[in-house]
Amino acid sequence: MRYPEIDFARGIAVILMLIFHSFFDAYYFGKIELSGAFWYYFPRFIGGMFIFISGFTMAVVRPKPNRVLRKVFKLSAIALLITAVTYYFVPNEFVVFGILHFFALSTLLGYTFLNHPKLHLPAGIAAFLLGVYLQSVNVSSANLVWMGLMPYGFRTLDYYPLLPWFGVFLFGMYFGRKFHPTNRNFFENPLAKVGRKSLEIYLIQHPVIILALQILYGDVLQQI
């Protein structure tokens, strides 16, 4: 069962994602400058929206194990493909553990928390605070980069480690148990339809944006 309110919220996140990535891609190809705190926190706010909504949805829908496993396998396959593609095109900044890697793991872990609602908030706070602390720690190995321990000089195009972001996922689960959507039809609008296609839009956005930049500037494809 789909909930228009959830799709609507996800649709807002998709629009914000498209706005940011349009600016980021223009910056990446040297067409504009991005600096300041806003451009640091804006993408993290957007990623946090998607993660919170995902946790919220899991608590509301309470999916069956086979559905969870299908989703995990699908996200894992796409995430590995993104790693391979980015390694080919940008080996110095390829995606090691991006948001789809995170969603694959957090979906699996989140399912284990479904029947333990009393743990959602305290475990979420603990995971978030520990992750914030780990951001100030650097290590010599990349073995735990998925958890949030970054090696020295680590660079990547997309990075959403388990900590602190699983804390945000658990916050979503906590509020999903507290505030069940009403399935009201007035949320059934174009934004809700966009929200239903969030994964598809995520996958095609960069090629479309790059093509638009090529049309606008005329020299973007030569830089790939």
DSSP string, 117-152: HHHHHHHHHHHHHHHHHHTT-EES-STTTTTT-EET
Among 22-26, 40-44, 95-99, 218-222, the range scoring the smallest mean pLDDT is 218-222
Residue 212 CB contacts under 8 Å (≥ 6 apart), including other chains: 22
DSSP state of 218: S
Phi and psi angles of residue 159, each rounded to the nearest 5 degrees, phi first: -145, 110
pLDDT over 80 at 58, yes or no: yes
Q: Which pLDDT value is given to residue 189? A: 84
At residue 88 the predicted structure's pLDDT band, cuts being 50, 70 and 90, is: very high
Q: Radius of gyration of the chain from Cα atoms?
A: 18
Tens digits of residue pLDDT in 117-155? 999 999 999 999 999 999 999 999 899 999 999 999 999
Number of H helices, E strands in the chain: 8, 2
Banded model confidence at residue 3, pLDDT cuts 50, 70, 90:
confident
Is 80 exceeded by the pLDDT of residue 62? yes
Containing structural domain, residue 100: 4-223
- The pLDDT confidence band at residue 224, using thresholds 50, 70 and 90, is confident
Residue 180 is predicted with a pLDDT of 80
pLDDT at 222: 87
pTM, entire model? 0.95
Tell me how many domains the chain contains. 1
Question: Which amino acid makes up residue 45?
Answer: F
Amino acid at 26: A
pLDDT tens profile 177-207: 998 877 666 567 889 999 999 999 999 999 9
Phi, psi of 113 (to 5 degrees): -95, -5
